[in-house]
Amino acid sequence: MTANEELGVLIKETQAVLHQRMDEVLRPLGLTVPQYACLQALHDTPGITGSELARRVFVSRQSTNIVLQGLEKRGLITRSDDPGPRRERATVLTAPAVALLDDARSRVSSVANRMTGDLTRADTARLHALLTACRDALLT
């Protein structure tokens, strides 16, 4: 295996462990990682389209709709009955969702801090720049 291939495997392993640790801290809140990502995206980007939401949650549009249905059943989101200009229904967080999201963000932040705890600020900034460059190279 080449050094670049090993790096790709390491990135994937890191992502898998990060997902597992996030799942561990979110589970007591009754949230999955995709549900958390969905709530966060809806909070941070009001009016987000379904396609963009699916990209941010890293699941298909069909799976995003299933996540939204579950959040709606829990009373964490409301969706309008009338589709908007793009035939999409507006989705809004409820007050309980905002409170739950605050707790969830704190828990996820502790995981991220644990992941980067041994890095200096300069290391973290450099890692961010390098991973951004890697991602962007794959997007072109």
Tens digits of pLDDT across the chain (140 residues): 999 999 999 999 999 999 999 999 999 999 999 999 999 999 999 888 888 899 888 888 889 999 999 999 999 999 877 665 555 667 889 999 999 999 999 999 999 999 999 999 999 999 999 999 999 999 98
Interhelix angle 33-44/61-73, rounded to 10 degrees, is 90
> What is the tens place of the pLDDT at every residue in 24-35?
999 999 999 999
What residue ranges do the domains of the chain occupy? 3-139
CA-to-CA separations, 138 to 57, 100, 107, 126, 135, in angstroms, rounded = 18, 34, 30, 19, 5
Tell whether domain 3-139 is in CATH 1.10.10.10: yes
pLDDT of 68: 92
pTM: 0.87
